[in-house]
Structure 1
Amino acid sequence: MDVLVPVDDSDCSFRALGFGADMAARYDADLHVVHFADEESNATDAVVERAQRVLDARDADADPEVSTNVDIDVDVRSGGRAGSEILDLVDERGYDHVVMGHHGAGTIERAILGSAAETVLRSEKVPVTVIP
């Protein structure tokens, strides 16, 4: 089994990473961690370093990856776009399960901002565990 955990700089995505690492260990699955960005920067480095600390604390065997092959406009509905990029990666690499965080935004916030987790869930392409 291959488990994908997309991370951003939010606390909920790192809680999801901890859950995903534990899940992968429990089911002897391969863990894959990805951060989507339009380009690598100090901010992406910080996300990867934080992800590596979470993985090291759980003795997980995974290397966080930064995917810059995306065109994400962070100013306009990036949640839906990030969700589409996650689904594209699921299709390309054949992941069996996705574990991701969700900010817990209400109906109005989701309508305005979109939600990567909601996009992945609604696709029904792959089982998803959402961690608040």
Structure 2
Amino acid sequence: MESSYRVSFWLRKVLVPVDGSENGFRALELAVDFAKRYGSKITVVHVKGEGTDEVRKSVQSKLERKVDYEFKLLEAGTDSSVPNEILKELYDGSYDAVILGARGTSINQELNIGSTALAIAANSPTTVIIVR
């Protein structure tokens, strides 16, 4: 039992960026599992862009009646980027971990890890779990 308690302490507050990609929704599934097993509080973030309404509806349908969560829309201005907005949220929200997909909706299928995931992994102040 002690190991479960220790893990639950590491994963109290989890950020899950979603972009509508298959990997992003796999990351969300892992976060749901953590919430059920360890009582993690999930905050789902999406950076505004094309498909925002579809992403919000998909998140709602995947999480409804499963776990409590918060959904936040972030906005990247002309002087910012998607990774920067996610990193700002990570710093401001004092999260224990971030769970995200290895690559998003980019056209190049040959990439193992996308630029957003790479930027988050390199610059995050907390634990990063990358889901493929």
Which category describes the TM-score, using the shorter chain as reference length? 0.7 to 0.9
Alignment check: 8 A CA contact 1:82 1:116 kept: yes
* CA distance in 2: counterparts of 1:35 and 1:83, whole angstroms: 11
> Where has structure 1 moved over 3 Å in runs of 4 or more?
none
Hey, what does 2:61 align to over in structure 1? 53
SS at structure 2 position matched to 1:65: strand
Q: Once the 2 structures are TM-superposed, how far is the Cα of residue 99 of structure 1 from its aligned partner?
A: 0.3
Hey, what does 2:9 align to over in structure 1? none
Q: What is the aligned-residue identity percentage?
A: 32
**Which structure 2 segments of 5+ residues have no match?**
1-11, 104-108
Alignment check: 8 A CA contact 2:90 2:124 kept: no
SS at structure 2 position matched to 1:64: strand
SS at structure 2 position matched to 1:71: coil
Alignment TM-score, normalising by the size of structure 2:
0.77
SS at structure 1 position matched to 2:54: helix
Hey, what does 1:131 align to over in structure 2? 131
* CA distance in 2: counterparts of 1:46 and 1:65, whole angstroms: 14
Equivalences for residues 31-70 of structure 1 within 5 A:
31-37=42-48, 43-56=51-64, 59-68=66-75, 70=76
C-alpha offsets along residues 18-43 of structure 1, whole Å, 9 cap, x if unaligned? 111111221111110010115xx7x2
**Which structure 1 segments of 5+ residues have no match?**
none
Q: Once the 2 structures are TM-superposed, how far is the Cα of residue 63 of structure 1 from its aligned partner?
A: 3.4
* CA distance in 2: counterparts of 1:12 and 1:5, whole angstroms: 11
Hey, what does 1:27 align to over in structure 2? 38
* CA distance in 1: counterparts of 2:63 and 2:129, whole angstroms: 18
Q: Once the 2 structures are TM-superposed, how far is the Cα of residue 10 of structure 1 from its aligned partner?
A: 0.8
SS at structure 2 position matched to 1:8: coil
SS at structure 1 position matched to 2:68: coil
Q: Once the 2 structures are TM-superposed, how far is the Cα of residue 47 of structure 1 from its aligned partner?
A: 0.4
Assess, with a 3 A threshold, how the Cα gap between structure 1 residues 105 and 4 changes in structure 2: closer, same or farther: farther
Equivalences for residues 1-132 of structure 1 within 5 A:
1-37=12-48, 43-56=51-64, 59-68=66-75, 70-71=76-77, 81-103=81-103, 105-106=110-111, 115-132=115-132
